[in-house]
Structure 1
Amino acid sequence: MKAKNMMAAMLAALTGSFLIAAAAVAAPRFTMKLTTTTTNDAGVEWLNTLKKGIDARSGGRIKVEVYPAGQLGSAPRTIEGVTMGTVEVALNASGFYESLDPRFGVLSATGIFDSMEQGNKVLSDPEIRKLLASYGKSKGYEVLTTFMHTPVAVATNEPFKTLTDIQGKKLRVPGSPLFLHMFKALGAAPLSMSLGEVLPAMQNKTIDGAVSGNTIFTSLKFYDVTKTMTYLPSTHIAVVAIINSQFLKTIGPELSAIVKEEARKADEHIYTWAAQDADNARKVWEQHGGKSLTLDAPDAARFVKLAQESAEAVFSKNPQEKADYEIFKAVAQKYR
């Protein structure tokens, strides 16, 4: 009986040791925080897709956490967090990264991306990927992805059917110098404003309209304030996800490769998903009584010409930015 009790005790001890060891193996070795300021959009879908891929392949070694809707802070704050190592991945519209490197401004230029499909082909081109990969050198981050998020439109209190309709109008634009220069050239009065302030400003007529992605206007229910949205030709929002460079080194080559491979897989998924999301946004806008307008051919051509002249003027101030703009234009031409 004594021998049996000793044997049972030994088995229990061995079992306990095994369970402790197994738990230690299963416990995540690294935490990877992914964040964006938006919700229920292509950016969040991409982050969730990346999480699923890493979860499936890392064997529990990486614990991936997704924080949408600005839960970890504003875009500038989380971008800074990536460079400092307090956040692993931040995904935002490309314009937010111009403070890190002004060359990100090229991604906002009219006339490079003709459509969501063509734009994603440009951004996935090996030459462009190599170029973007150089942006974070020695700055504490790497570009993990760039993809087309949404067509750019102007939601206005009064119909915007011709270029003369926005002359003198106060329009909220993304804070990029390119957008400010471009709309000044068109005769409008552009001003930078946080997106959260735009809807009440339009409602009380402090401003006459706003420039943003069509999916943003529908998700924030701008159709409760205005029914007019005009799409700008050859103008789209591209989003960028950056990852902390030290994190990639810390997790080692195997897990680093998994992260980058799953990012590419998430790209392939989002190309179709984002295009469908933009199309659904147009339908939702119209279902709520909104009108989707476009400029006629002469005005569209004039808009693109003025926008490209603005790009030349802005980018010429930075030789490297100008050189990158020329590369983007050449690659874009390949996919037309």
Structure 2
Amino acid sequence: MTLTQTLGSTFKASLKSLTCAAGLALGLAQGAAAADYVLKVSAPIPPTEKDVVYAWMVAFEKGVEESSGGRIDVQLYPANQLGQLPAAIEGVAMGTIEVTFSIIGFFSSIDPRFQVLDAGGLFPTAEVAMSTLQKPEVREMLTGFGANAGVQPLTVLIDGQGVIISKEPIEAMVDFIGKKVRSGGATPLLNEPLQAVGAAPVAMSLGEVLPALQTGTIDAATNSMGVVNAFKMYDAAKNVTYLPGNYTTVGAVINKDFLAMIGPELGQIVYDEAHKAEAVVARHLANAEKLDAAWEANGGRVIRMSPSEVKTYLTTIAPVVSKIVGQSAQMQADYDLLETAAKAE
């Protein structure tokens, strides 16, 4: 082959490579630009599918992107990447974040109706609680929550039976007395039952709990087994006590302007996939024993109060819950609907 032929072949090969590279770059650019909308999902929990919230987020992302044909790009931001809960909730109300998760009590800052979901003693089991929340009449009621704040519930989940993590064991009613306990919000239905059993509730976002336990700012904190395991809270406190009649309720709200912007067809896809993703909850609740075992494997202790202490606890908080619910006609109506739906299970 002559030098001219060699140079010619080299030029052609280079041109072909450049053309292929340009085509690939164009294809990637077109793929990146394929999504018409970005839907950011914020959550305080770390990225572990042992936690029901993150498992839901992953299922939701996959479902929405597939069902929308890639028109919606779902982006997940766990571990408070978009800010602590108060800021994230404000972000959704303002439209800078499309969706955020929170333990349900913190949403009462934008609409007091959310707090009815914190009523202790309303459900007999976590499974009944989740099934109740999925009933059509309950979903219909929930659509009105947050309406005046520009948000709407996207999903409401049960993250298992509520627990209280503590440095000193809580085995009986007397053990609550004098304890500074983190609660998931500043609402009466969260805090007054704790006061009734002798504790001193402190409203605190999830990201603050571990350092507060480590420094002694609080003595205990309410949460779920999935979360205390995910955050490795056994490094700060070893005891976890299941709270009778208490089921950790978490939810996600979506910005209503975003729903209006994407239109009814895509909006329906978002809601359908949010509900389909709730299938992860049953698997999560079925793994409760594994969460207990994981806690104990890391040196923790799981405590269940005796039947007599459970009865005393529920008897103590029942009139407190009834009094608070009865102070608002709207809350009473919401509570009655939930109670009726739960009893029909």
Instruction: Measure the CA separation in 1 of the matches of 2:298 and 2:70.
Output: 45
- Quote the offset at 1:285 in angstroms: 0.8
Residue in 2 aligned with 1:250? 261
Instruction: Measure the CA separation in 1 of the matches of 2:33 and 2:207.
Output: 42
Change beyond 3 A, Cα 1:322–1:194: same
Choose from 63, 74, 78 the match for 2:88. Answer: 78
Choose from 202, 207, 210 the match for 2:213. Answer: 202
Q: Secondary structure at the match of 1:243?
A: strand
Q: Tell me, yes or no, if structure 1 residue 172 matches structure 2 residue 182.
A: yes
The answer as to whether partners of 1:169 and 1:189 remain within 8 angstroms in 2 is yes
- Quote the offset at 1:25 in angstroms: 11
Q: Secondary structure at the match of 1:98?
A: helix
Quick one: which amino acid aligns to residue 235 of structure 2? D
The alignment yields a C-alpha RMSD, in angstroms, of 2.3
The percentage of counterpart residues that share the same residue type is 37
TM-score by length of 1: 0.87
The answer as to whether partners of 2:84 and 2:207 remain within 8 angstroms in 1 is no
Structure 1 residue ranges without an equivalent (≥5): 1-11
The aligned runs of 1:1-336 (5 Å cut-off) are: 23=30, 27-39=34-46, 40=48, 41-175=51-185, 176-268=187-279, 270-276=280-286, 278-335=288-345
Quick one: which amino acid aligns to residue 135 of structure 1? F
The answer as to whether partners of 1:148 and 1:274 remain within 8 angstroms in 2 is no
Instruction: Measure the CA separation in 1 of the matches of 2:202 and 2:146.
Output: 29
- Quote the offset at 1:191 in angstroms: 2.3
- Quote the offset at 1:314 in angstroms: 2.0
Residue in 1 aligned with 2:7? none
The answer as to whether partners of 1:35 and 1:89 remain within 8 angstroms in 2 is yes
Once structures 1 and 2 are overlaid, which stretch shifts more, 170-179 or 38-47?
170-179
Quick one: which amino acid aligns to residue 165 of structure 2? A
Instruction: Measure the CA separation in 2 of the matches of 1:202 and 1:69.
Output: 18
- Quote the offset at 1:273 in angstroms: 3.2
The answer as to whether partners of 1:29 and 1:61 remain within 8 angstroms in 2 is yes
TM-score by length of 2: 0.85
Change beyond 3 A, Cα 1:171–1:142: closer
Instruction: Measure the CA separation in 1 of the matches of 2:287 and 2:83.
Output: 25
- Quote the offset at 1:212 in angstroms: 1.6
The answer as to whether partners of 1:114 and 1:233 remain within 8 angstroms in 2 is no
Quick one: which amino acid aligns to residue 254 of structure 2? I
Q: Secondary structure at the match of 2:60?
A: helix
Once structures 1 and 2 are overlaid, which stretch shifts more, 107-116 or 88-97?
107-116
The answer as to whether partners of 1:37 and 1:75 remain within 8 angstroms in 2 is yes
CA deviation map 1:41-67 (0-9, x unaligned)? 211211111110111121221121111
The answer as to whether partners of 2:105 and 2:190 remain within 8 angstroms in 1 is no
Structure 2 residue ranges without an equivalent (≥5): 1-18
The answer as to whether partners of 1:151 and 1:213 remain within 8 angstroms in 2 is yes
Instruction: Measure the CA separation in 2 of the matches of 1:152 and 1:66.
Output: 25
CA deviation map 1:59-117 (0-9, x unaligned)? 22112111111111121212222222111111111111011111211111111232221
CA deviation map 1:239-269 (0-9, x unaligned)? 111111121121122211211111111112x
- Quote the offset at 1:237 in angstroms: 1.0
The answer as to whether partners of 1:105 and 1:178 remain within 8 angstroms in 2 is yes
The answer as to whether partners of 1:151 and 1:278 remain within 8 angstroms in 2 is no
Quick one: which amino acid aligns to residue 34 of structure 1? V
Change beyond 3 A, Cα 1:182–1:294: same
